[in-house]
Structure 1
């Protein structure tokens, strides 16, 4: 049994955690390696590079640059300057306020990206992508920690070269390369859990022996069922015995799009989340923001005197926002450090998703993981999947929001009901539900 997942995103990480907590502890392979894979996973690239993740990520000012060049950075990103010319852009790994390097994008004299150095969580450049003048990726080369060239991917010819055990292997496609990797690793492929209809699906399809594979569908559905999914439904992918939908809304849409008898079951199964702590029924709230535009904030502050509002930013705050320091139930944290933010997450029990502009540092998901009750306004709410629909209000209904918060402060049972509804909205399920659906005895 093995997990073969396509990419390192939140949905994949949630699925991996859910399977592990349910007792499915098989190896996990993530095909697309960004250098920041979660624990207990590997990719074909990381294995051939012999990555052991021993080391620390590079801080933004640790890039090697020519003499007299300057590195500048803030909590959003960094840049390298050759006097006044921007020579490179530095992309941080999440969370950005840690200022850890994920990519360095080198620019030509006209400001176009010509190459990207990819850094992993162990702090070394594990890959480099080269671009042409049209901004198209030409090659991506993967390096060992000793800077030895190990893998070269050609995006023009779609072939791949591997330097392995004093031999050079030429693969005509990425799938051939993965097939070779799986053979070398001698994994048990009798049951493959996969989450994409691209390469992971074809790996399942190419297996010569019978199996009991499962597709976990984590993407939206558009106007019709994808062709490869239709293959499964028609019985033309005999190893796949079931399609598991991880999102309620997508599952409901699938029932409208899938007509007639199907060769496989289609069921709904959410996630087993790792909540970091319990809600303590306190009165402290948190707002993360990268702007001074907080929807109806002053009205909330004045009409919820029992709530102590903590407002944090990873940059300076404008005079408009700093003016809220006059209120006794407001504390402001400009240029908040990682330790300060961590302390705020651990010591607040409400999150108000009311900031305009983009979401800061995956705040809503972090609030959910810490079991904060999340409230928001529908015109600014971010990442709605982790917020109960009944806690998202129109601005003109602010009084109703205030009444609900006030009631939850006085009634712990009611507060727990709000948290339960929040968990349901995120399609949280139990370990037993996973074991029953996936048939672990």
Structure 2
């Protein structure tokens, strides 16, 4: 089984890697944000016996229930609830879903202080509420089943949890006990877990009164020192056996140098597998997504690369400054772009230029990576360092001379394009399925 505390980007990468390598395990996520894949198991889903409604439909921003005479004002990025001009709630979207789908709503008091947060699932079900004190600190969270009954009560101050299940109230003094109770209730084989944290998931397994053999994928940076929990498990002699797999080569070498010969046997290097939506074809089709007309040196870049085609998309209307680029034959503008058009651009383009000021829209850089686009940009405005190789980020001074030269080079020779593309693949620690499975064979045999 795979056990994650949160299903964040790192957990997603590990999950995808194991799936692509052929390891179809049951996925358990401790913290449920309401938008997890439907086949994942969580304590909330299990104890609440959560079922996807027959008429499942996400909650759109203007469907949030509000008092009479209050109003909802929304944009593509956020929405607010107003009462006679005073903001009484902030509505947050789940940005990886369809546009303007609500994930949670922050309700404010008359002084503008956060009171509580209502949480919704991807099916529009109100499933949890978090309450805050006047200092803005979380004090409790209530999870509700689909009939509105309280299933889980978490007290953040006392760090205790109560689960109302099968007609009984089960009390736990900490989250480790709570998760262990949940695992026991699942009644699954606990011989092997895959985790990516030396925090809660590791503590749950370390104190589990059952033998087994677990894999820990270390996705953090140690800062030059072996973490205490890692040092403990690498020494061996525990009820459960542990191996630590490190996808980052530099991090692996750093940890290895600080360990003895016996400890090194439990530490292995690896990498990740990626399931790209398509393969890069090394063309000079370039895309940029922006909600700002502050795209430094765009004119110089367009003029310097007449054989490249620049596709610029925005989810809003474009300013006169941007629409003026319509005069260039190698520029195509897409104001108020629709999702279908966005998808077509990512299917047809091979380079993503991350050179716009302001925030990232529609998860643009990650989506570019997922479509195997080469990501180039400015160092001080890059929006997603996790998938952008440092070698492919440049200074925006001197009229973007460095970036322009690279664009010219990769148009001149495919080999130059491949070198830049390989920088990106090395940065995200990509390896082959064969190499990954060789590591897994060593630790699972």
TM bracket, shorter-chain basis? over 0.9
SS of structure 1 residue aligned to 2:73: strand
Query: Is the deviation greater in 380-389 or in 7-16?
Result: 380-389
Partner of 2:11: 12
1:25 and 1:105 map into 2 onto residues whose CA distance is 37
Q: Does structure 2 conserve the Cα–Cα contact (< 8 Å) formed by 1:90 and 1:101? A: yes
Partner of 2:367: 366
Is the alpha carbon distance of 1:108 and 1:268 closer, same or farther for their aligned partners in structure 2, counting shifts above 3 Å?
same
Superposed displacement of residue 252, structure 1:
4.1
State the Cα deviation string for residues 186-220 of structure 1 (Å, max 9, x = none).
11111111111111101211222332111111122
Superposed displacement of residue 51, structure 1:
2.3
State the Cα deviation string for residues 46-70 of structure 1 (Å, max 9, x = none).
2112223442221111111122211
Q: Does structure 2 conserve the Cα–Cα contact (< 8 Å) formed by 1:101 and 1:119? A: yes
Query: Is the deviation greater in 269-278 or in 45-54?
Result: 45-54
**Unaligned residue ranges in structure 1 (runs of 5+):** none
User: TM-score normalized by structure 2?
Assistant: 0.92
Is the alpha carbon distance of 1:18 and 1:52 closer, same or farther for their aligned partners in structure 2, counting shifts above 3 Å?
farther
Matches within 5 A, 1:195-274: 195-222=196-223, 224-235=225-236, 237=238, 239-255=240-256, 258-263=258-263, 264-274=265-275
Query: Is the deviation greater in 148-157 or in 291-300?
Result: 291-300
Is the alpha carbon distance of 1:361 and 1:267 closer, same or farther for their aligned partners in structure 2, counting shifts above 3 Å?
farther
Matches within 5 A, 1:95-174: 95=96, 98-174=99-175
Partner of 2:50: 51
Superposed displacement of residue 248, structure 1:
3.4
Superposed displacement of residue 422, structure 1:
2.4
Partner of 2:434: 432
Q: Does structure 1 conserve the Cα–Cα contact (< 8 Å) formed by 2:224 and 2:255? A: no
Q: Does structure 2 conserve the Cα–Cα contact (< 8 Å) formed by 1:77 and 1:96? A: no
**Unaligned residue ranges in structure 2 (runs of 5+):** none
Superposed displacement of residue 42, structure 1:
1.6
Superposed displacement of residue 297, structure 1:
1.4
SS of structure 1 residue aligned to 2:58: coil
1:341 and 1:245 map into 2 onto residues whose CA distance is 35
State the Cα deviation string for residues 98-126 of structure 1 (Å, max 9, x = none).
11100100000011110000111111111
Partner of 1:406: 408
Q: Does structure 2 conserve the Cα–Cα contact (< 8 Å) formed by 1:28 and 1:41? A: yes
Count of residue pairs brought into register by the alignment? 439
Is the alpha carbon distance of 1:238 and 1:356 closer, same or farther for their aligned partners in structure 2, counting shifts above 3 Å?
farther
User: TM-score normalized by structure 1?
Assistant: 0.92
1:53 and 1:274 map into 2 onto residues whose CA distance is 27
Q: Does structure 1 conserve the Cα–Cα contact (< 8 Å) formed by 2:224 and 2:254? A: no
Q: Does structure 1 conserve the Cα–Cα contact (< 8 Å) formed by 2:310 and 2:331? A: yes
Superposed displacement of residue 254, structure 1:
2.8
Aligned Cα root-mean-square deviation (Å): 2.2
Q: Does structure 1 conserve the Cα–Cα contact (< 8 Å) formed by 2:154 and 2:162? A: yes
1:342 and 1:281 map into 2 onto residues whose CA distance is 18
Q: Does structure 2 conserve the Cα–Cα contact (< 8 Å) formed by 1:5 and 1:195? A: yes
Partner of 2:380: 379
2:60 and 2:96 map into 1 onto residues whose CA distance is 13
State the Cα deviation string for residues 258-291 of structure 1 (Å, max 9, x = none).
2444535222222111100122343321112232
1:339 and 1:147 map into 2 onto residues whose CA distance is 37
2:161 and 2:388 map into 1 onto residues whose CA distance is 44
